Structure formats: structure tokens, C-alpha cells
Structure 1
Amino acid sequence: MSPSDPPDGIDPRALEAARESFSLARQGNAEKLRQMLDAGLPVNLSNEAGNTLLMLAAYSGQAEVAKLLLSRGADPNRANDNGQTPLAGAAFKGDLRMVELLLDGGAPVDGAGPDGRTALMFAAMFDKLEVLELLLSRGADASRKDASGGTALTAARMMGAPRTAARLQELEGRS
């Protein structure tokens, strides 16, 4: 079998359609992706890194594609092979609109991958104060711990994120 042969006897046209769908999700071509979904493309299809179409759309800031996928039943909490969820990816990017869309689409505010890191922790780490505030307003638990025992405040301090660290410290002082 040559490197260009499809794995496990998969139809080369199906493989090419899958590759195209990932590009469409990143680029924001909701109409073409809609056509592919109508033709039977699985809404939770994932690539070799475990990224679903929704993860790629969320990370790329493609709100229309994310809305389409969520409306078709995409799993907003499915983690990729690195344990990152679409909500965590949007929080990392600081994409307030996408975070709101994912929360409205069913992503659990404290959903986490195997490492226990939540979207709040990612927002804290990368000093995304507006995202942090949105997540807190939606009920995110600032005292929740990841697999290593760290909180969002721990993450903010570790990464030198001054705005989110100050906000989380303020909250901790109130409890």
C-alpha cells in the first residue's frame, strides 16, 4: 500500500469529502457544509487529531458553521485528542461570541477534558477577562480543581495573567 492509498479500504471520494469538510469548518463555509450534512456527512466527524467539525469551527471563530453544527446535533463537549473541548478552544482564543454560542448550544460551563481543565481555566491562563466574566455569569465554578489540583486562579498566576488573576483573587476574597 502506498502512502497515498486510503486506509482500511475507505473510498477515496469519501476521504476527500471528509478532508474538505474540515477545511469548510475552518473557513466558515456553512452553506457547502450544510449540503454535505444533508448528503449524510456525520455531524460529529473528527480528524486524525480528534478535532470535530465543531471544534475546528469554534477554534477558527466560525460562528455560522458552529450554529449549523449545533442545530444538527453536534456534541459541544466532545474533547479532541489533547483533551480540549470546543468551549475551551473558544475561551483560549478569547472569542466571546463563540463562547456564548457554545454555552447556548448546550456546552456545560464547567465541562472539561481528562486533565480537568475547564474553559474558565483557559480564560484565566490567557488573561481573557471578558470571557472569564461571561463564564462566571453563567455559573462557572472558580474553585473547581483540575487533575493536578490547580484552580483557575492558580492557572492565571502561573501564566502571569494579571487581569484574570486579580479578578479571581477578588472573588476568592469574598468567599
Structure 2
Amino acid sequence: MENAKLQVTALFEALIAGDKERVSELLTEQPQLANTENEDGLTPLAYAGHLGFEDIVQTLIDHGAEVNAVTHSTIAYIPSNTALHATIAGERSLNVIKLLLSHGADPNIVDSDGHTALHSAAYHTDLTEILQLLLDQGAEVSSLTGDGETALQIAEKQGNEKVAAVLKQMTI
């Protein structure tokens, strides 16, 4: 058990350092690490996506990381969510978002706060490119959060005017 914990720690340390070669080496030795959460309940894929490390996200996917796995976050300010949610809340890398979506990431999975990836995008960014990627993959515009809000209402509240304008057009 202790060795497994050390391997998870080593994987996350390599991931945080952006060391793709070390990540690949660890995953080749122990492929199950691709879906093993750290002590905070975060998956390697969600963490790499949050940091915007496209090459490491690809390496994790190549080694069997589940793109729709929901984390079990024990950090109060981080909801349990998917790598897609984490990427949007983090660096918002268009390439990582495209990569996740191209490997079947579902934009309609709800996180522990009741938000889909579209809700997260409406909250975190005014980049319409992210919004469009999610919509192109079937994100539901009318989906309500756990608090009963739409992505449009969230975007308006956050002052994300460009995103709000696109969402308004979708609801007409």
C-alpha cells in the first residue's frame, strides 16, 4: 500500500513539473496510475488539464486515463468534477479542451456543485471559442445548475458579455 502511495505521489510530482517523460515512464510501469486519485481525490488527467499540459494529457489518455472520470475532491473549494471541468476552471487551454472532447469527454456531466462544463465556461471565461467547442459537442444550453441557473444567467452575473451574447442567440 505504501509503495502504491509513493507511485501516485511520484506521478503527480512529475505531472506538476511538466515532466512528460517521467509521467510516461511511470505509466508504462504501472498503467493503473492513469486513473488513480491523489490524496486530495484528484485524478492525474484532471490535474494535467487544469495546468494546461497538452502533452501530458495526451500521454495519460494513451495510457488509459478515463476522460469522463469524476474526481472525488476533498478540497473544499474544488468540486468533484471531470478533466473537462478542471481544464475550463484552470488554464482554459483550447488544445486540451479539443483533445478531451475528441476522446469523448461529455460536456453534460454534472459536477458536485451541479454545474456542467458549459456552466463552468460561462463562469470562468469570456472566450467564445471554448463555448463553441462545448456547444459543437452537444452541450445543453438550457441545462440548469443545482441552484436553478442557466449558463446564460451565470455568464451575465460574471460579466462575460461575449459568452452571454452567444448563449442569448442560442435561446432565442
1:59 CA displacement: 0.5
Structure index of larger Rg: 1
CA distance in 2, matches of 1:55, 1:136: 21
1:115 is the counterpart of 2:105: no
Question: Structure 1 stretches of 5 or more lacking a match?
Answer: 1-9
CA distance in 1, matches of 2:144, 2:167: 14
Residue 3 of structure 1 aligns with which residue?
Answer: none
TM-score for both structures, normalised by structure 2 = 0.86
Q: 2:65 aligns with which of 74, 81, 87?
A: 74
Q: Percent identity?
A: 31
1:112 CA displacement: 2.0
CA distance in 1, matches of 2:69, 2:143: 20
After the TM superposition, which residues 144-159 of structure 1 pair with which residues of structure 2 at under 5 Å, given as runs?
144-159=143-158
1:104 is the counterpart of 2:94: no
CA distance in 2, matches of 1:94, 1:16: 30
RMSD of Structure 2 on Structure 1 (CA): 1.6
Residue 30 of structure 2 aligns with which residue?
Answer: 40
Question: Could you list the per-position Cα deviations for residues 90-145 of structure 1 after superposition, in whole angstroms to 9, with x for gaps in the alignment?
Answer: 12332111111011122112122233311111111122321001111222111111
Count matched residues: 163
Residue 7 of structure 1 aligns with which residue?
Answer: none
CA distance in 1, matches of 2:17, 2:168: 38
1:51 is the counterpart of 2:50: no
TM-score for both structures, normalised by structure 1 = 0.85
